[in-house]
Amino acid sequence: MGMRFVIVTGMSGGGKSTAMKMLEDAGYYCADNMPVPLIEKFMELLAMPDNGILKVALGLDVRADQSFEDVNQLVARLRETYTFEILFLEAADSVLLKRYKESRRVHPLSVDGDLMSGITRERALLASIKQAADYVIDTTNLLTRELKAELDRIFVSNQAYNSLMVNVMSFGFKNGIPQDADLVFDVRFLPNPFYIDELKQKTGLDREVQDYVMGFPEAHEFVDKLTDMVNFLIPHYINEGKYQLVIAIGCTGGQHRSVTLAGELYKRLKNRGDYGLTLRHRDTK
């Protein structure tokens, strides 16, 4: 059995450190932030027979003190001699901004503390290595445990890589449409359980609300038509190289109808195997 070598890179704040920690826990020998001139020597040492190391993860960051163009050239050169995989961690700009503000870290490429300028510069620098990546995981809507599950599938269980992550999300229009939504559906045409006294304080996570909402034939017809359309679209999105699809289903408050129908769509789509799938209820109490 040969050695498995993974280069882990991506947007700062995209989850690279988390991924490295998870790979370390899975038995990978991890090396992070190695200066470019040492990387080639490191690869030479690993290529020597009987070194006893079977799984290696090398973290590559954009840093202000080195040219990432040097990294791109090195990776291209190394691929002529060595076999390795590239894992790229991605996230939406709005999420990267939020993560940086929460952690109070300074972006390595920000000028005068301008986070957005740093993110924009970094995205441009990483464009070529992202294009060369074997795996691109968008962590915008992933929980830590969901990222771990995806990494376990690829790097531990050696299952097929799902290039597209489909995120089904319920929301309330009164709180605004999710900014990262690709497809938005309005289910306010259905009767509202909010006006039923025994259902008002419950949500679409409760069986009573689900039974009420799905008691209307048009609810079933809506889910049938939506499932059919999503199943038609997904292969085309995969062919186009899309990494994330957010399907947002909204009602007035995001408590009853949207939660029920998002759950129904999730049930119809899961266990397909050719894409990843998550379910999120943005506005449930």
State the chain's mean pLDDT as an integer.
89
Q: Is the pLDDT of residue 263 over 90?
A: yes
Same domain assignment for residues 139 and 172: no
Same domain assignment for residues 109 and 202: no
Domain stops at, among 90, 125, 155? 155
Q: Side chain identity at 155, as an amino acid letter?
A: F
Give me the sheet containing 165-172, strands edge to edge: 183-186, 244-251, 165-172, 276-281
Q: What is the mean pLDDT of residues 143-147?
A: 89
Same domain assignment for residues 31 and 126: yes
Same domain assignment for residues 151 and 271: no
More confident position, 188 or 3: 188
pTM exceeds 0.85: no
Closest CA to 138 of 208, 76, 88, 75: 88
Instruction: Quickly state the pLDDT bin for 20 (edges 50, 70, 90).
Output: very high
Q: Give me the number of domains the chain comprises.
A: 2
Domain stops at, among 91, 122, 155? 155
Q: What is the mean pLDDT of residues 261-273?
A: 91
Quote the domain boundaries for residue 10. 4-155
Same domain assignment for residues 170 and 121: no
End-to-end CA distance of the chain: 51
Provide the pLDDT for residue 18.
Answer: 92
Q: What is the DSSP string of 87-101?
A: EEEE--HHHHHHHHH
Question: For residue 250, what are its two tokens?
Answer: 């909204």
Same domain assignment for residues 114 and 72: yes
Task: Say which CATH number the domain at 14 has.
Answer: 3.40.50.300
In a domain? residue 160:
no
Q: Is the pLDDT of residue 60 over 50?
A: yes
Same domain assignment for residues 236 and 169: yes
Same domain assignment for residues 147 and 205: no
Query: Cα–Cα distance between 26 and 57 in angstroms, integer?
Result: 11
Query: Cα–Cα distance between 153 and 64 in angstroms, integer?
Result: 34
Provide the pLDDT for residue 2.
Answer: 67
Domain stops at, among 155, 186, 214? 155
Provide the pLDDT for residue 65.
Answer: 56
Provide the pLDDT for residue 1.
Answer: 46
In a domain? residue 115:
yes
In a domain? residue 95:
yes
Beta partners for 250? Answer: 171, 186
Query: Residues 34, 58: contact at Cβ < 8 Å?
Result: yes
Contact residues for 189 (Cβ-Cβ < 8 A; gap 6+): 218
Task: Quote the percentage of the chain above a pLDDT of 70.
Answer: 96
